[in-house]
Structure formats: structure tokens, C-alpha cells
């Protein structure tokens, strides 16, 4: 949907926005409680261990439900097309986008892949979102659920105990999600104004030129 | 050159000294190996001899019934053997005391059959009769174990009924903690000792008038109960750790048991001083690891944080935040310049 009077395009359907805000809240709660559990006994913990475990469990389950919403909403609204990219020439496109962020942006260069109804994400966004939402988050959710039922885990896998293997994947995925959050939040400030992308994610409308 | 020549001059003497040390070392190791081997052979010989002697007792005492001759009727009759007098032969010959003759601990008078009635009042040996003050058992610190046991809830509540044998059946007991690297085998064996009374209404009832508590319900608070029960011994939470003992024997009152997740799920996990103590010491000897909890077999969430992983992850986070800061600063500087 395009509003020609205001040069705005309707980019984020309600259901995607609801998913996104819930996802942000849940992930934030999980990162905080997860970090607290990881820091137990180090002197840097800021919350009771038992409480952080409970909160982490609850938000982990909520995140799973929300991930199901993400999948349903994406297929239902057709938003899934934004995550699909053609492999041919994609690396070159990512390099162009990377050069824009590292050099072009400081020279007031034009955005190599401006936002349109058909292309919501630039190549770097596409790549990172696919990795995070279709690889890392599923791993995080699966290993998180395995923690809720640890007796189902393998006794031994790749020479280590099942719990350890699960823990390594879970902590690593959680850590990568945390890194993603920092980068994602920062790149959201690269819009028309510092806050325009954040506002778009609330209203659903994105300003185009 | 002079130094080199000097070194060459004395090299013959050095070689002789080194050869002598090597010969002495090899000779001693050979001697130790020989004495070790002969001790093993000696034990096997002793086991064989004692087995033959024990067979006379176990002929009846491994069966649920035994045959005796009734002189009045001049007939053989079968009698039921009380279950507590029946010995499982396989378990006995797999136990710590497998090399013993029955009469090493029981009266020689038992050699006569039918046994004399007054043998029923035979005073039983206590563990400390053999294990106390013996330098051979110094490393097990039996005196320390006795002292801890005397302070335990078992000894204080059950008075005379509380003996080592209550938990360590002298016929079947086999050391696991400190004797194997297999943690799950240690856990299984040691927990079975506790559960033989605490999950058995009859045996529990023999010792106390109290109603046997339901172990599963009492541990409802414990998340992933099955995994905890499978991975750790009851004594991990129900004893006070003592550094001088392989296994702590001061069983605490239930109100004093550990109930705080953080005690184990932390960098300075309590388990390092209890269940994993022996393995850690062994691995330290073997591999020189100072953080052997990183070994894959001993894994407790929260207790196995890897130092290098932490450094790498924090460094990466700093790089990301640093990169973002530099990018932000450049954006502002250039924007201001353009404005």
C-alpha cells in the first residue's frame, strides 16, 4: 500500500508489528536473565538465581509461541518473500551494501538498495535476518526446550555429554542474538532521522523519497 | 672452544652417572612391578583357598533352604533359611571383602554343623576393629569417618542401631567413590545405599517408628528431578563436606540440607568439593589441569564457564560496541561538517 500524498509506504502489517514488539520484549528479558544465570558466582550477578531461572523459563516458552506467530504471520501476510533472495550476485550486493555503510554513508551517497514495497530489506539485512530468524533462533528455542526436559538429551554426543553440547549451542546462540540486538538497534538509527525507523515499526508506515 | 672441550672431557663421567641413575631407577621399578605382581598373585591364591573353605558355609547360606539331619527321626529335613542369613555369592566375591574367609569375621565354631545355639549371641565385629588405627588404611581416614558418622543424624537419632553396616553391608560393600572415574556408576551405587532404607518401607520401619517420607514428593521443589537424581548422590546435598574425606559421612538433618541451586550451578560449584573431588584430583595428577571441571564428563550448567570463551565473547562484544561508537561518531562529525 502506497500513500502518494505523503510519500509513505505501508511496510509493517499489524501482526508483524505485534510479533516484533513482543519478540523484542521477550528477547530482552531472556538476555538479562540468561546473562544473570551465566554470571552466577562471578560477583556480577544482579538478580536471584532461582528467580532468573523461572523468568527465563516463562519467557522462553512465550518466545516459542511468538516464533510460531512469526512463521504464521509471515506466510499469511506474504511478508516471507522479503527473506527470500536469489543467490546469484547476492554476495556482490552484500558487498555494495557493506561499502555503503562503511564509506558511502559518510559521503552522502545514495542508498544502493532503497526501501520499496517489494524490497523491504537490503541484502545485508536479508542475510542477517535469515541467519538469525531461521537458524540461530530455532537452535535457541530447541536447545531451550531441551533444557526444560533434560532427561531426553543424549548421554553422549561428539564425545561430550548431551547437556554440555546443548549448553554450548544454547549459550552461543543466545550470545549471537545479543550481538545481533546491538547491531540491529544501531542500524535502525540509520534512517531519515535517528528515530524514523523506530517510529515506522510502531506505525507501520515508512517514509520514502 | 675451551668450554666445549671441558664439556667433552667430563662427558664420560656424566654418561656414567646418568647410566647408573637409569640402571638404579629401572631396577627399582622392576622390583616394584615384581612385588606388585606377586601381591596380585598372592591375593588370587588366597581368594581361591578361601573360596574352597567358604563353599562349606555357602552351600547352605547361599540358598533359601537348607538340609539337616533329624537324629530323632533319622531323616533329612529341609528348613527355610532366614533371608538375612542368605549371601549372594556373586555380590560377595565382587565386594571389598571377597578375599575373606567367613570365619575371619564369624566365630570358628560356625564350622561345626548344626551350629551351637549360643552362637546367636556372637558379638559382631565393628568396622573399626580392623580398619581403625591401621596405617594400611590411612588414606581412607576411617577415624575421620567414624567421627563424622558419630555427629550425623543417623548416629544421633538411632543411637546403638546406627552402625557402619546399616549402610555398608560388609558382605557386599564395594568402594566406588575414589575407585572409578565413572561418575554415573558412583552415583548409582551410592544412592542405592541410601534408597535401600529410604525407599523401602520395611527396612525403614526396622530402624524408626516414623512414617517413611515419600522421597519423590519431598524433592518436588527440585527442577528436573529425574536428571538430578540420576546425576548426583543424595550425600551431595545431605552432608557437610569434609576436605579430609573422600565421601563426607556427616549426614545432616533434612532442614540443613542444601536447597540453593547456586551452591552447585556456579563457578565455585559445591560439587567440586564433593562428587567431583576425586576425579578432579586424579585428572590434575594425570593431565595437570587446574580447571578439570572443563572435562566433558563432568558438566554442570553454570559451573563450567570457560575462561577463554568468556574473554573471546567479551572482546567481540567490546569490538561491536566500539565499532558502533566509532560509526556513530563519524556520522555526527560528517553531518555537522555538511550542515
B324 to chain A, any CB pair closer than 8 A? The answer is yes
Q: How would you label B250-260 residue by residue, b for 16+ Cβ within 10 Å and e otherwise?
A: bbbeeeeebee
Q: A128 Cβ partners below 8 Å, 6+ apart?
A: A180, A183, A184
Residue B58, pLDDT above cutoff 50: yes
Residue B337, pLDDT above cutoff 50: yes
Please state, in angstroms and rounded to a whole number, the distance separating the CA atoms of residues A146 and A131.
21
Q: A136-187: per-residue pLDDT in tens? A: 999 999 999 988 887 776 666 666 667 778 888 899 999 999 999 999 999 9
Interface touch A182/B320, C-beta < 8 Å = yes
| Residue B114, pLDDT score | 84
Which has the higher per-residue pLDDT, B275 or B235? B235
Domain segments of chain A as ranges: 2-207
Residue B284, pLDDT above cutoff 60: no
| Residue B291, pLDDT score | 43
**Residue of chain B whose Cα is closest to the Cα of A165:** B296
Neighbours of A93 (CB within 10 A): 19
Taking CA atoms, B106 is separated from A163, B16, B57, B110, B129, in Å, by: 49, 58, 11, 7, 13
DSSP A120-131: -S-HHHHHHHHH
Number of A/B CB contacts below 8 angstroms equals 70
How far apart are the CA of A137 and the nearest CA of chain B, in angstroms?
18
Taking CA atoms, B51 is separated from A17, B287, B325, in Å, by: 80, 40, 80
Residue B292, pLDDT above cutoff 50: no
Q: What is the mean pLDDT of chain A?
A: 87
Which has the higher per-residue pLDDT, A53 or A137? A137
| Residue B289, pLDDT score | 41
With bands split at pLDDT 50, 70 and 90, how would you rate the model's confidence at B165? confident
Please state, in angstroms and rounded to a whole number, the distance separating the CA atoms of residues B176 and B183.
9
Neighbours of B99 (CB within 10 A): 18
Q: Comparing C-alpha atoms, which of B238, B315, B231, B246 is closest to residue B278?
A: B246
Interface touch B266/A163, C-beta < 8 Å = no
Please state, in angstroms and rounded to a whole number, the distance separating the CA atoms of residues A89 and A156.
42
Residue B290, pLDDT above cutoff 60: no
Say if CB A10 and CB A115 are below 8 A apart: no
A83 to chain B, any CB pair closer than 8 A? The answer is no
Say if CB B99 and CB B113 are below 8 A apart: no
Of B230, B297, B305, the CB nearest to A38: B305
Distance of CA A57 to the CA centre of its chain: 19
Interface touch B320/A179, C-beta < 8 Å = yes
Residue B299 with chain A: CB contacts under 8 Å: 160-161, 163-164, 167
Interface touch A50/B261, C-beta < 8 Å = yes
Burial (Cβ within 10 Å: 0-12, 13-18, ≥19) of residue B299: buried
A16 is written with which cell numbers? 508483524
Please state, in angstroms and rounded to a whole number, the distance separating the CA atoms of residues B14 and B12.
5
3-class SS of residue B122:
coil
Task: Note the helical H segments in chain B.
Answer: 2-61, 89-92, 102-105, 127-131, 142-151, 153-158, 183-198, 201-207, 215-218, 225-231, 234-238, 277-287, 307-338
- Percent pLDDT > 90 in chain B is 12
Of A105, A159, A186, the CB nearest to B296: A159
Residue B298, pLDDT above cutoff 60: no
Among the CATH numbers 3.90.199.10, 3.40.50.300, 2.60.120.260, 1.20.950.20, which is that of A2-207?
Answer: 1.20.950.20
**Residue of chain B whose Cα is closest to the Cα of A50:** B261
**Residue of chain A whose Cα is closest to the Cα of B223:** A148
Q: B36-50: per-residue pLDDT in tens? A: 557 778 888 888 888
Residue B3, pLDDT above cutoff 80: no
With bands split at pLDDT 50, 70 and 90, how would you rate the model's confidence at B319? very high
B321 to chain A, any CB pair closer than 8 A? The answer is yes
Q: How would you label B40-72 residue by residue, b for 16+ Cβ within 10 Å and e otherwise?
A: eeeeeeeeeebeeebeebbebbbeeebeeeeee
**Residue of chain B whose Cα is closest to the Cα of A173:** B313
Distance of CA B150 to the CA centre of its chain: 20
- B residues 211..250 contacting A (CB < 8 A): 223-224, 226-227, 230
Interface touch B262/A41, C-beta < 8 Å = yes
A46 to chain B, any CB pair closer than 8 A? The answer is no
Q: Model-level pTM?
A: 0.62
Please state, in angstroms and rounded to a whole number, the distance separating the CA atoms of residues A151 and A162.
9
How far apart are the CA of A75 and the nearest CA of chain B, in angstroms?
33
Residue B334 with chain A: CB contacts under 8 Å: 106
E-state strands within chain A = 2-3, 8-10, 156-157, 160-161, 205-207
How far apart are the CA of A111 and the nearest CA of chain B, in angstroms?
15
Q: A84-140: per-residue pLDDT in tens? A: 877 788 999 999 999 999 999 888 888 898 888 888 899 999 999 999 999 999 999
Taking CA atoms, B21 is separated from A95, B25, B34, in Å, by: 68, 6, 20
B261 to chain A, any CB pair closer than 8 A? The answer is yes
Q: B168-200: per-residue pLDDT in tens? A: 888 998 887 666 667 788 888 889 989 988 988
Which has the higher per-residue pLDDT, A12 or B292? A12
| Residue B272, pLDDT score | 65
How far apart are the CA of B167 and the nearest CA of chain A, in angstroms?
29
Give mean pLDDT, residues A196-205: 90
Interface touch A49/B262, C-beta < 8 Å = yes
DSSP B153-201: HHHHHHGGG--GGGTS-TTT----TTT-S-HHHHHHHHHHHHHHHHT-H
Neighbours of A167 (CB within 10 A): 20
Q: B117-156: per-residue pLDDT in tens? A: 888 888 878 888 888 888 888 878 888 888 989 999 898 8
Beta-ladder partners of A161: A156
With bands split at pLDDT 50, 70 and 90, how would you rate the model's confidence at B11? low
HSE at residue B127, side-chain half, CA atoms within 13 A, is 21
**DSSP 8-state symbol, B84:** G
State the Cα torsion A107-A112-A115-A117 to the nearest 10°. 160
Cis upstream peptide for B313 (omega within 30°) = no
Of A40, A41, A179, the CB nearest to B317: A179
B245 is written with which cell numbers? 574425606
Which has the higher per-residue pLDDT, B84 or A158? B84
**Residue of chain A whose Cα is closest to the Cα of B265:** A40
Amino acid at each position: 500500500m502506497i500513500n502518494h500524498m505523503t510519500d509513505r509506504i505501508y511496510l509493517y502489517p499489524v501482526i508483524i508489528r505485534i510479533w516484533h514488539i513482543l519478540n523484542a520484549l521477550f528477547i530482552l528479558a531472556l538476555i538479562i536473565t540468561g546473562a544473570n544465570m551465566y554470571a552466577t558466582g562471578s560477583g556480577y550477578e544482579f538478580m536471584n538465581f532461582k528467580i532468573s531461572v523461572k523468568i527465563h523459563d516463562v519467557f522462553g516458552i512465550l518466545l516459542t509461541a511468538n516464533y510460531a506467530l512469526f512463521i504464521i504471520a509471515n506466510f499469511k501476510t506474504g511478508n516471507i518473500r522479503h527473506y527470500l533472495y536469489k543467490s546469484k550476485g547476492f554476495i556482490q550486493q552484500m558487498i555494495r551494501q557493506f561499502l555503503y555503510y562503511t564509506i558511502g554513508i559518510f559521503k552522502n551517497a545514495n542508498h544502493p538498495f532503497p526501501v520499496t514495497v517489494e524490497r523491504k530489506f537490503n541484502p545485508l539485512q536479508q542475510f542477517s535476518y535469515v541467519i538469525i530468524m531461521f537458524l540461530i533462533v530455532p537452535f535457541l528455542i530447541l536447545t531451550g526446550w531441551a533444557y526444560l526436559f533434560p532427561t531426553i538429551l543424549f548421554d553422549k554426543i561428539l564425545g561430550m555429554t548431551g547437556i554440555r553440547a546443548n549448553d554450548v549451542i544454547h549459550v552461543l546462540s543466545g550470545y549471537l542474538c545479543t550481538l545481533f540486538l546491538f547491531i540491529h538497534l544501531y542500524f535502525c538509527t540509520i534512517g531519515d532521522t535517528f528515530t524514523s525507523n523506530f517510529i515506522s515499526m510502531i506505525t507501520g508506515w515508512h517514509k520514502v523519497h | 672452544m675451551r668450554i666445549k672441550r671441558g664439556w667433552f672431557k667430563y662427558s664420560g663421567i656424566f654418561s656414567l652417572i646418568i647410566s647408573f641413575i637409569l640402571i638404579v631407577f629401572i631396577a627399582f621399578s622392576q622390583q616394584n612391578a615384581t612385588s606388585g605382581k606377586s601381591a596380585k598373585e598372592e591375593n588370587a591364591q588366597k581368594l581361591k583357598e578361601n573360596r574352597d573353605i567358604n563353599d562349606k558355609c555357602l552351600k547352605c547360606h547361599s540358598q533359601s533352604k537348607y538340609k539337616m539331619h533329624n537324629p530323632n527321626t533319622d531323616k533329612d529335613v529341609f528348613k527355610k533359611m532366614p533371608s538375612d542369613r542368605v549371601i549372594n555369592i556373586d555380590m560377595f566375591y565382587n565386594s571389598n571383602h571377597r578375599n575373606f574367609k567367613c570365619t575371619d569375621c564369624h566365630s570358628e565354631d560356625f564350622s561345626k554343623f548344626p551350629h551351637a545355639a549360643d552362637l546367636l549371641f556372637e558379638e559382631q565385629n565393628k568396622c573399626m576393629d580392623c580398619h581403625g588405627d591401621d596405617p594400611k588404611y590411612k588414606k581412607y581416614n576411617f577415624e575421620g569417618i567414624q567421627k563424622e558418622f558419630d555427629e550425623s543424624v543417623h548416629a544421633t537419632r538411632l543411637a546403638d542401631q546406627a552402625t557402619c553396616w546399616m549402610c555398608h553391608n560388609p558382605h557386599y560393600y564395594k568402594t566406588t567413590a575414589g575407585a572409578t572415574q565413572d561418575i554415573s556408576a558412583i552415583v548409582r551405587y551410592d544412592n542405592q545405599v541410601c534408597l535401600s532404607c529410604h525407599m523401602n518401607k520395611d527396612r525403614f520401619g526396622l530402624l524408626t517408628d516414623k512414617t517413611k517420607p515419600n522421597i519423590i514428593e519431598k524433592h518436588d521443589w527440585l527442577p528436573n528431578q529425574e536428571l538430578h537424581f540420576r546425576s548426583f548422590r543424595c550425600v551431595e546435598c545431605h552432608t557437610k563436606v569434609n576436605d579430609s574425606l573422600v565421601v563426607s559421612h556427616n549426614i545432616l538433618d533434612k532442614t540443613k540440607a542444601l536447597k540453593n541451586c547456586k551452591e552447585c550451578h556456579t563457578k565455585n560449584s559445591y560439587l567440586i568439593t564433593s562428587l567431583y573431588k576425586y576425579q578432579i584430583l586424579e585428572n590434575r595428577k594425570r593431565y595437570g589441569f587446574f580447571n578439570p571441571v572443563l572435562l566433558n564428563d563432568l558438566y554442570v550448567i553454570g559451573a563450567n564457564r570457560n575462561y577463554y570463551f568468556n574473554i573471546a565473547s567479551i572482546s567481540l562484544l567490546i569490538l561491536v560496541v566500539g565499532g558502533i561508537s566509532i560509526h556513530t561518531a563519524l556520522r555526527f562529525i560528517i553531518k555537522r561538517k555538511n550542515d
